[in-house]
Amino acid sequence: MSVREPDAEWVKRFLSVPRFKPYVRDCAGDEAVALELYWWNIEVSAAFYPALNFLEVILRNAFHDELTSNYARSEWWTTAPPVGDGAFVIDAAQRKLNRTSGHVPTSDDVVAAMPFGFWVSLLSRSNEEVMWRPALYRAFRPGYRGPRRQMHAHLEHLRMFRNRIMHHEPVHMRHLEADRERIYELVEYLAPGATRMLERVDNLAEVLARRPVPYLGRGRNRA
């Protein structure tokens, strides 16, 4: 089956043949199903927004609370600056906030300005001594008692997945049910009971059930 002529012209002009080609490949050459899969990829990417939003906001607040408590100040980064690029990210955010608002930013302003990647980087090996061991392991208790490296791997995996969604990349080939389960698991570690709130706005299960083609089973999810 081929995509109808108007649809084929639209795909060629706006999506581009190279962008559409992977969808056609994953639909065994059926262009009509491939176009349906393309639209579903957009739908399921949008459906992940509530879960990713919950994870990012809850993560940053939990980390900020634990570091504030441990270092006895809300500007904990002045006492324990992150290793690597983290300190530069904070400094750049403070300067930008100062420039745009005209006043010295508060700790809450800075925390809200930090990207997801910044918070994930706090669990890197280089930050283990100043972040994980004295404070951040507590953010996941009592549900999680595993090693830092495993939690960092989980969050780094989801960071890359989030970036694929935000950059409009294909995610249909992934085991998206497993991605959803992982997000729910981490949210529950960070804020027990929060998944009940998330379920009120999460329609992922329904969208996933409408997948136009079966999960391809390509092994482990890769961002």
Confidence of residue 1 (pLDDT cuts 50, 70, 90): very low
CA 175 – CA 28 distance, rounded (Å): 19
What is the tens place of the pLDDT at every residue in 50-66?
A: 999 999 999 999 999 99
Q: Using one digit for the tens of pLDDT, what is the confidence trace for 166-184? A: 999 999 999 999 999 999 9
Whole-number pLDDT of residue 6: 63
In angstroms, the CA 70 to CA 88 distance is: 22
| 36-45 tens-digit pLDDT | 999 999 999 9
- pLDDT confidence of residue 80: 95
Place of tokens 């904070």: 90
> What's the chain's Rg over C-alpha atoms?
21
